[in-house]
Chain A
Amino acid sequence: QSLLTQPPSVSGTPGQRVTISCTGSSSNIGAGSDVHWYQHVPGTAPKLLIFLNANRASGVPDRFSAAKSGTSASLAITGLQTEDEADYYCQSYDTRLRDYIFGTGTWVSVL
């Protein structure tokens, strides 16, 4: 059972804004561990989107943004595009497990 909870799916039409939440606890996000976000199109290599809570990786459009507060984090996609359809995962470090943990994953569908 993952220690980082995400909604199973979110959807939107082209041009809309969607957000994905990542809920942790006092042993991971709340302990000061950084949060990172990945995009994974099935059958391809996962891709780093956001690192250290809010920094966009090289080549990632500014439609993607993220924030962290307390024991949670969120990823926002504005101006949704069809190529954004993918699984999205948050990732952090759990100080109790002393291990890197991923969120449960969220499928973004573009209607």
Chain B
Amino acid sequence: EQVLESGGGLVHPGESLRLSCAASGFTFSSFAMAWVRQAPGKGLESVASITGSGGHLSQAGSVRGRFTISRDNSKDTLYLQMDNLRSDDTAVYYCARMGGFCSSGQCYYLKSWGQGTLVTVSS
């Protein structure tokens, strides 16, 4: 199984960008998916996650109201719409297929990761 991110690049503060993640090798609609980022010199940070059917799982407070996670199960593709970007959003953004099945959400983990796509927000 594989996930492949695309759509990163250099943008100015306040601009928008949409990341895509193409999945293959597994039944995409059966699994929750997530975006995770790593800013330069920093650790991993969960950005947002979504259930297999497109329901909300989680979203980081730092991106609430600016970023929207969505998926198109007919295209086996995950998206991250990023609006009003700030310099502290600069990071490598990873797409990941989640594992675990539990109603509480307390068991989910990140089973398969992509190579990441770099987003740079700078004036």
Contact = CB atoms under 8 A, between A and B. Distances in A.
Interface string B70-112: 0000000000000000000000001000011000011111111
Interface string B38-50: 0000011110010
Contact of B109 (A34, A44, A87, A95): A34
A71 interface: no
B108 A100 contact: yes
Given A91-B109, A100-B49, A45 B116 contact: yes
A12 interface: no
B111 A102 contact: no
Contact-residue bracket for chain B: 20 to 34
A51 B100 contact: yes
A46 B44 contact: yes
Given A46-B110, A51-B111, A93-B106, A100 B100 contact: no
B107 to A, nearest CB: 5
Contacts, number: 75
Nearest to B116: A45
A104 B106 contact: no
A52 interface: yes
6 contacts: A48-B109, A57-B111, A87-B43, A91-B44, A99-B58, A99-B61
Interface of B: 34, 36, 43-46, 49, 58-61, 94, 99-100, 105-116
Given A45-B114, A52-B100, 14 more contacts: A32-B106, A33-B106, A34-B100, A38-B44, A40-B44, A45-B113, A46-B113, A51-B99, A89-B43, A91-B44, A92-B106, A95-B106, A100-B108, A102-B45
